[in-house]
Amino acid sequence: MASYVSVPRDLTKVKSKVMFNLTKRQLICFSVAALIGVPSFFLIKKIAPINTAVMCMMLIMMPLFFLAMYEKNGEPLEVILRHFIQATFVRPKERPYKTDNYYEALIRVSQTRKKIAKIAGRRKKA
């Protein structure tokens, strides 16, 4: 019996794996999460029950896990967050866009020419 391996059509979406079938980005984020989360667990465990220490460690480590794993439309989480912050807080809410309708511009030009011809006609008669 033959086994088949699916090959993606778009090779730009294929990420190179470094170690443990993880990308370099994932390895960095997971190691930073471990460097922050494990010591925090032991510090919190001294003053609170183990259940609370585990939950606090998870809350501390989850943002780094999201940074490592979440990707939408080929963009990582920090790019998506930057776009969201710019659209929500930095850029103005109303984006005034004034179009110059070509036909209205032609009408304005013709009306202006009529006014000029009317004024010029008065001067010739006088």
Residue 2 in any domain: the answer is: no
Residue 49 DSSP label: -
Which residue in 40, 35, 36, 41 sits closest to 54, CA to CA? 41
pLDDT at 45: 93
Share of the chain above pLDDT 70, in %: 87
Whole-angstrom distance, CA of residue 13 vs CA of residue 74: 8
Q: Tell me the residue range of the domain where 76 lies.
A: 17-92
- Which residues lie below 8 Å from residue 56, measured CB to CB, with a gap of 6+? 40, 41, 44, 48
Q: What is the pLDDT of residues 7-46, one digit of tens each?
A: 767 666 666 676 777 788 889 888 999 999 999 999 999 9
Residue 66 in any domain: the answer is: yes
Domains held by the chain: number: 1
Residue 37 in any domain: the answer is: yes
42 in Cβ contact with 70 (< 8 Å): no
Q: Which two tokens stand for residue 120?
A: 């010029």
Residue 118 in any domain: the answer is: no
